[in-house]
Amino acid sequence: MKTLMVYFSWSNNTLKIVEETNKYFHYDVVRIERKIPYSKDYNTCAYVEAKDEWEKRLYPEIKQINLDYSLYNRILLFFPIWWYTFPMPVGTFIKNLKNYDGEVYVFANSYTNDPKYMENVMKDLKLIDNTIDYKKGVFNQNVEKHIKFIKEMSL
Ligand SMILES: Cc1cc2nc3c(=O)[nH]c(=O)nc-3n(C[C@H](O)[C@H](O)[C@H](O)COP(=O)(O)O)c2cc1C
């Protein structure tokens, strides 16, 4: 079973979860990055750029990831909740996955611990590509819980 970790992070909370979790697993890791980076200013990023993309369902270009996804049986996808669902660059990543026949496990974190977010994420991912086998990972948990979950799903 070959596993790839993919993440998007703006203020690096998700990056820390990925790095700490992966100290245990040592999987290959790639970062999703918007081709034109978001503003470093929170208000501009959140209330102008990200809000506009979300409201208009715009999938921004992301930096090219030179990987053959078919070499991996599963992808662990990590991101923060933005506007009640995934950040739109994550949507671009999913669009680019095309014909991926492994599993995609979803791990999200957010400021508010609202379980509805994960429901939104699962629903919105299917709207982009419903041929992909999405699975719920963990939502708003610490690193230990991530490690435990990934260990158990690998059994
Ligand atoms: C553009 C933007 C939108 C956000 N929207 C939400 C939201 O709808 N609900 C929430 O609880 N937190 C929201 N947050 C907070 C992030 O989900 C939270 O701070 C997360 O841990 C950030 O992860 P990161 O450091 O990897 O970017 C938002 C943050 C940003 C920047």
DSSP 73-90: SEEEEEEE-BTTB--HHH
Q: How far is the CA of 54 from the centre of ligand 1 (A)?
A: 13
Type and span of the H or E element at 18: helix 13-25
Give me the pLDDT at residue 58, please: 97
Token pair belonging to 38: 């978001």
For residue 47, which atom of ligand 1 is closest to its CA?
Answer: 1
Give me the pLDDT at residue 149, please: 97
Contact (CB, 8 A) for 136 and 118: yes
**Model pLDDT for residues 50-84, shown as the tens digit of each residue:** 999 999 999 999 999 999 999 999 999 999 999 99
Neighbour count for residue 40 (Cβ, 10 Å): 9
Residue to probe by mutation, ligand 1, list 7, 8, 11, 85, most atoms within 8 Å of CB: 11
**pTM (2 d.p.):** 0.98
Q: What residue ranges of the chain have pLDDT lower than 70? A: none
At 90, the amino acid letter reads V
- Residue nearest (by alpha carbon) to ligand 1 atom 29: 82
Give me the pLDDT at residue 83, please: 97
For residue 114, which atom of ligand 1 is closest to its CA?
Answer: 11
CATH homologous superfamily of 3-153: Flavodoxin domain (3.40.50.360)
Q: Check pocket membership of 9 for ligand 1, CB cut-off 6 A.
A: yes
The span from the CA of 112 to the CA of 115, in Å, is: 9
Give me the pLDDT at residue 154, please: 79
Domain regions of the chain by residue span: 3-153
Sequence-separated contacts (24+) of 37-43 with Cβ below 8 Å: 38/10
For residue 113, which atom of ligand 1 is closest to its CA?
Answer: 11
Q: How far is the CA of 108 from the centre of ligand 1 (A)?
A: 10
Question: 3-state class of 116 per DSSP?
Answer: helix
Contact (CB, 8 A) for 17 and 78: yes
